[in-house]
Amino acid sequence: MTSLIGHEAPNFVAQAVKNGDIIDVQLKDYRGKFVVLLFYPLDFTFVCPTELLAFQEKIKHFQDRNCEILAISVDSVYTHRAWWNHELKAVSFPIVSDITKTICLNYSTLIDKGISLRGTYIIDADGLVQHMAVNNLGIGRGVEEVLRLVDAIQYHKSHGEVCPANWHSGDRGIIPK
């Protein structure tokens, strides 16, 4: 896996489902905002809906941080829409279709089975990848940890201080000497 940390996030143009509608999404249109990319294996599975619904429950917290969420899998927009209609009507962020598997390949989440691992990427307002983590198929993500990481990245960028282990918003950073 090639590290994208500190590099410009690979742009993509794709179709997505947002609030039941099929829309076009381009990553570069999100410049000026933080973006969390959530790669997941497949629609209509077991862990995936729990993750998307958990991120939706905290969507206001992300938006308060000038941060948008995009979920991405190799399913078609038609499968995404059927899944959204079936059990994800609460999800308001775009669910991106990577039917060609190009996005997953560019972000190193694609596996031999032709599906994506659970990748989490945090991209800053300048379009640079600041965080990447990839979980195996059976391990869901923690929303609070992703929020903490967004806070830490924003704090570091605005204050120049580094954030020690278990740092949370409101804690002091460390001034590098």
Residues 71 and 40: beta-carbon distance below 8 Å? yes
Count of CB atoms situated within 10 Å of the CB of 65:
17
User: Any catalytic annotation for residue 104?
Assistant: no
Q: Which residues contact 172 (CB under 8 A, 6 or more apart)?
A: 161
Structure tokens, 82: 């059927």
Longest dimension (CA), the chain: 54
Residues 14 and 22: beta-carbon distance below 8 Å? no
Q: Are β-strands 95-97 and 67-73 bridged in parallel, bridged antiparallel, or unpaired?
A: parallel
Q: So which residues are the catalytic ones?
A: 48
